[in-house]
Amino acid sequence: MWSDSDGERELAMMYRPDCSSDFVLMDERMIASASRAAVSPPISQLNVSKSSRVHIGPKFVSVTQKVRNTEEIKGQLLGLELVSSQNTRKIRCSIAVFVCWALIVTVGLSFYVFHYALSKNEARLDLDIHEPWYLRRGDWQAMRPYTMDFLELPVSFVIIGHTVTQYCNQKYDCIKKIINVQKSHLDARFEDIGPNFLISGNGIVFEGRGANVLSTMLKGWNRRSITIMFLGDYRTDKTTPAQFEHLDILLNQLVKQGVLRPDYTILGQCQVKPLTVSPGRNILKELKDFQHWNSENAHLCLPG
């Protein structure tokens, strides 16, 4: 066993920096010399004492470094994986196309919701008349309308006409005639039976299109009036008191339900379409007794 001083002298003597030495002492470390001509004898045993700076054998240090592309980092900040700057224009175009389609879809959905979905919430108004002489569409087996358009309520006019069909005063006979009227109006592309209501010879009131549905009887008047037709040809057919009693009840209920303005006006069809016959002289004569009837243009109605 040697001391520190002996060891240092021995090492200085054994490993002097010359061309014949295998090791060179530099900075207190032994480094193999460039010459490998002589092979040092093997050391079978080595004892080191009172020294903390000794390392025997090779020592390896592993260094790991990750290099990231600048374009990739920028792309990740945008939520995109960019490979090169050439993709920037393509991505911008894709975003622009996506935004355009999103706007188109939004506008389309908005149009559908406000124009169709909300309009489907409208329904035919029931007048809450529960009398044996008042028949709703289901009571006379009306066919479904092809389309329905609704009135902006209240309206200001009531137009009275006649169907110029055979007179009827029996319930089931009148139902057959009403169904035939609807079929003929559908064939004429009216989309449904034409008037809002119809009245038979014995005073039965039939719900036609309904109280708040747009009729198709008089161009220029459909959106501002309720049309009521009497079944028959009243150039010659006689009227009955029940017809006008029930007409008066119907009109009062239309005002109550907000369909008609309280100051509404009653007109014969020939008054708004001069030089025609409808509703016929026998009905026109009875209308003159109604408070809301207006005699304007009555002289232009043909007697038939």
pLDDT digits (tens, 9 = 90+) for 86-123: 566 667 777 877 888 888 888 877 766 555 555 445 89
Chain centroid to CA 149: 20
Closest CA relative to residue 148, chosen from 198, 193, 179: 193
pLDDT band at residue 240, thresholds of 50, 70 and 90? very high
> So what's the pLDDT on residue 6?
52
pLDDT band at residue 37, thresholds of 50, 70 and 90? very low
Q: Can you give the residue ranges of every domain in the chain?
A: 1-51, 70-119, 134-300
Q: What does the pLDDT average to over 228-255?
A: 98
Task: Tell me the whole-structure pTM to 2 decimals.
Answer: 0.62
**Which CATH number is associated with domain 134-300?**
3.40.80.10
> So what's the pLDDT on residue 2?
47
pLDDT band at residue 231, thresholds of 50, 70 and 90? very high
| Residue 161 one-letter amino acid | G
Q: Which range has the worst mean pLDDT, 2-11, 87-96, 216-225, 286-295? A: 2-11
* Number of continuous H segments (helices) and E segments (strands) in the chain: 7, 8
Q: What does the pLDDT average to over 217-221?
A: 91
> So what's the pLDDT on residue 44?
65
pLDDT band at residue 15, thresholds of 50, 70 and 90? very low
> So what's the pLDDT on residue 19?
45
Q: What letter does residue 96 receive in the DSSP assignment?
A: H
Query: Virtual CA dihedral for 205, 211, 216, 220, nearest 10 degrees?
Result: 120
Residue 53 predicted with pLDDT over 90: no
Comparing 121 with 245, the larger pLDDT belongs to 245
Q: Which range has the worst mean pLDDT, 2-16, 172-186, 267-281? A: 2-16
State how far the Cα of 293 lies from the Cα of 23, in Å rounded to an integer: 132
What residues does 134 pair with on adjacent strands? Answer: 205
Closest CA relative to residue 182, chosen from 161, 162, 171, 198: 198
> Average pLDDT of the chain?
82
Tell me the two tokens of residue 122: 């409208």
Q: Kindly provide the b/e burial profile for residues 234-252, where b requires at least 16 CB atoms within 10 angstroms of the residue's own CB.
A: bbebebbebbbebbebbbe
| Percent of the chain predicted with pLDDT > 70 | 67
